[in-house]
Every structure is written in structure tokens, then in C-alpha cells.
Amino acid sequence: MSESVEELSAEWRTLLTAPRRGHAELRRRDIPAVPGVYAWFVGGECVYVGRATSLRTRLSSHRSGSRDLSRSTLRASVAAQELGVPRGAARQRPSVMTAEQIAAVTAWFSAASVTWIECMTQVEAKALEDRLLGSQRPPLNLV
């Protein structure tokens, strides 16, 4: 995302300026169990935007250390980017990922931070995600 915060839409500004939580400080109970849009950051840059019917459930699935990457598009995208693993292999069930590969994906999340915007409904969350991704495409979001 090359534009300055001032040049972005109000929705992007809200997302980019919302408080971020690091992996180590984020507790499941602190994540609201409501629909919303979330963003992952590495080195201060937004690298992924997604939506959830329950932020608590979705963010927990991304942060899990499970060998099954097929339930998280983001975890599979991280494996593809960081390890050069084909996305198809990362999304395969049952998983073909090694313990070392899973550890590398989990380490990526340890260096990342996340923020979110709560929404009233799933429909509102989808519409917000569509508007955000319609104007900016973070590197780990699929085209």
C-alpha cells in the first residue's frame, strides 16, 4: 500500500489507525465474538485484510499452530510466500506440511500484529471488506 494514510478512504484510515495487538499479547477472550473486518500487519505494513462472521473464531484459526493450513487462506498464503510452498499443497487435506514448515508459518504470526473493525452484521462485514479490497490490495490477499 503505497498511498499515505491521508490519501486513503475513511474506512482504510480507520483500519490503519486502529489499535494493533501483537500475537503474544492477544488473548482469545479479548477478541469480540461479532462479525467484522480484520487486518494483519508486518513491519507496520498492512499485508492482509479479511472478514469474519466471528472475529474471535476467525482470528483464532489464523493464529493456531495446527498442521492443517486448509482452514486459513492467510496461513496458506504465508506458507506460499515465506516457504515457496505451492498454495495447493498448503491448502491440501490432510496436510502435507512438515512440522518445520508449520513452525515457520507460526513464527510469521509471532512477528505480526492485528487489528479489527467490528460490524453489526455479516452482510455489513462483507460489504466493508469488498470496499477496502476494491481500492487497495494487500500483498497476501488473493487477486
For 120-139, write each residue's pLDDT tens digit.
Answer: 999 999 999 999 999 889 99
The three-class DSSP label of residue 6 is: helix
**In this structure, what CATH number is given to the domain that contains residue 70?**
3.40.1440.10
pLDDT of residue 97: 84
Confidence check: pLDDT of 5 > 70: no
Specify the number of domains making up the chain.
1
CA angle, residues 43, 122, 18, in degrees to nearest 5? 30
Confidence check: pLDDT of 70 > 80: no
Q: Is residue 114 domain-resident?
A: yes
Q: Is residue 20 domain-resident?
A: yes
Q: Is residue 140 domain-resident?
A: no
| Tens of pLDDT, residues 17-69 | 999 999 888 899 999 999 999 999 999 999 999 999 999 999 988 887 777 77
Q: Which domain holds residue 72?
A: 5-135
> What span, in angstroms and rounded, lies between the C-alpha atoms of 104 and 99?
9
Q: Is residue 143 domain-resident?
A: no
